[in-house]
Amino acid sequence: MTIHKEGRGLILATTTVVVILNVLVASVPSFFSPGVYSILFYSVLIISIIVLLLVLQFFRLPSIEVNKNENQVLAPADGKVVVIEDTEEPEYLQSKRKQISIFMSPINVHVNRMPVGGTISYAKYHPGKYLVAWHPKSSTENERTTIAVKMKSGTEVLFRQIAGALARRIKWYVKAGQSLEQGDEFGFIKFGSRVDIFLPTNAKVLVKLGDITRGGKTVIAEF
C-alpha cells in the first residue's frame, strides 16, 4: 500500500495544520482549569488523528495484480454499479451503446484504470457544473473527461470521468495516440464521483445494479 501522488501535497498540508494546532493547544493550559484543558487537549488530538487518517485512506494506492484478457472489460474504478442501460453516445462514437456507470464514494480508492488495452483514439476535457454524481444530467452537464480507446480488434470503448458535488478535481494522464495496457492507471478523481463506460451493444454485461466493483479487478463485461 502506497500513497497516490495526487494526495502528497494535501497530506503534507493537513499534517502541518494538525501539528501546529496541537502545539498551540498544548501551549495554553494556563487559560483553562485542569479538567477543561484535559477535555480540550484530547478532543483536538483525537479529531486531528481522525482527519489525518481519513485523508490518508482517501489517497491510498493498493497494489493489485491485473489479469489481462482481450475478451473482457474490467471495472475502471472502485465503487458501486448505479446504471446499466442501452443508450446513445453522442459525443464521439455517435452510436448505440451499453452504458455501465460506477459511483465512487469518498471511502473508495479513487484511481481510475483502463478497462481494456489499446490506443487512445479520443481524449477531451469538458468544464461544467457540479451536480450530484447520480443526477441523470451529470454525464452531459458536469465537469468531465471523455476518453476512447481502440482495441487491437478494432473495437472502440469509451469511458467518462464525471465530477460530482464534492469532486472538483479530475486528473487524467492520457492523450490521443498513446498506447496503454488493460489495468493501467489513466486518471484520478478527488473526493467521490462517477465513471461511465460505453460498450458495444453485443457486449455481455456481467454485473448488476448495486454490485461492488474493484478497479482493474472486477470483470464487468465480456465480448
With bands split at pLDDT 50, 70 and 90, how would you rate the model's confidence at 206?
very high
Q: Which range marks the domain in which residue 55 is found?
A: 2-61
Q: How many CB atoms lie within 10 A of CB 151?
A: 16
User: Does 66 fall in a domain?
Assistant: no
* Residue 185, all three cell numbers: 492507471
> So what's the pLDDT on residue 1?
64
Q: What phi and psi, each to the nearest 5 degrees, are found at residue 55? A: -65, -40
With beta carbons less than 8 A apart as the criterion, state whether 178 and 149 touch.
no
First-residue to last-residue Cα distance in the chain: 32
Question: Which residues, 6+ apart, have CB-to-CB distance to 51 below 8 Å?
Answer: 14, 18
User: Does 126 fall in a domain?
Assistant: yes
| CATH number of the CATH domain containing 118 | 2.70.70.10
> So what's the pLDDT on residue 208?
96
Residues 194 and 174 reside in one and the same domain:
yes
User: Does 67 fall in a domain?
Assistant: no
Grid cell 469532486 — which residue?
167
> So what's the pLDDT on residue 193?
81
DSSP 76: S
Residues 152 and 215 reside in one and the same domain:
yes
Give the dihedral of Cα atoms 158, 67, 58, 171; nearest 10 deg. -30
> So what's the pLDDT on residue 142?
75
43 tagged catalytic: no
Instruction: Give bridge partners of residue 7 from the DSSP assignment.
Output: none
Q: Which residue, of 61, 93, 109, is where some domain finishes? A: 61
Instruction: Using alpha carbons, list the distances in angstroms from residue 105 to 87, 108, 116.
Output: 24, 6, 23
Question: With the C-alpha atoms ordered 92, 103, 186, 171, is the resulting torsion angle positive or negative?
Answer: positive
> So what's the pLDDT on residue 98?
97
pTM: 0.79
15 or 54, which is more confident: 15
Q: Does residue 192 register a pLDDT over 70?
A: no
* Residue 75, all three cell numbers: 471495472
116 or 25, which is more confident: 116
Residues 93 and 124 reside in one and the same domain:
yes
Instruction: Using alpha carbons, list the distances in angstroms from residue 191 to 17, 54, 165.
Output: 20, 11, 9
Identity of the amino acid at 125: Y
With bands split at pLDDT 50, 70 and 90, how would you rate the model's confidence at 67?
very high
Question: With the C-alpha atoms ordered 123, 127, 128, 131, is the resulting torsion angle positive or negative?
Answer: positive
User: Does 209 fall in a domain?
Assistant: yes
Residues 56 and 86 reside in one and the same domain:
no
> So what's the pLDDT on residue 156?
96
> So what's the pLDDT on residue 147?
96
Residues 54 and 79 reside in one and the same domain:
no
> So what's the pLDDT on residue 138?
58
With beta carbons less than 8 A apart as the criterion, state whether 147 and 172 touch.
yes
Q: Does residue 76 register a pLDDT over 80?
A: yes
pLDDT, tens only, 93-109? 999 999 999 998 878 87
Instruction: Using alpha carbons, list the distances in angstroms from residue 103 to 128, 187, 214.
Output: 18, 15, 12
**How many structural domains compose the chain?**
2
Q: Point out the catalytic residue in the list 48, 138, 139, 193.
A: 193
11-25, 87-101, 149-163, 164-178: least confident range: 164-178
With bands split at pLDDT 50, 70 and 90, how would you rate the model's confidence at 62?
confident
Residues 218 and 150 reside in one and the same domain:
yes
Q: Does residue 133 register a pLDDT over 60?
A: no
> So what's the pLDDT on residue 141?
66
Percent of the chain with pLDDT over 90: 50
Instruction: Please report how many Cα atoms fall inside a 13 Å half-sphere around the Cα of residue 215, on the Cβ side.
Output: 29
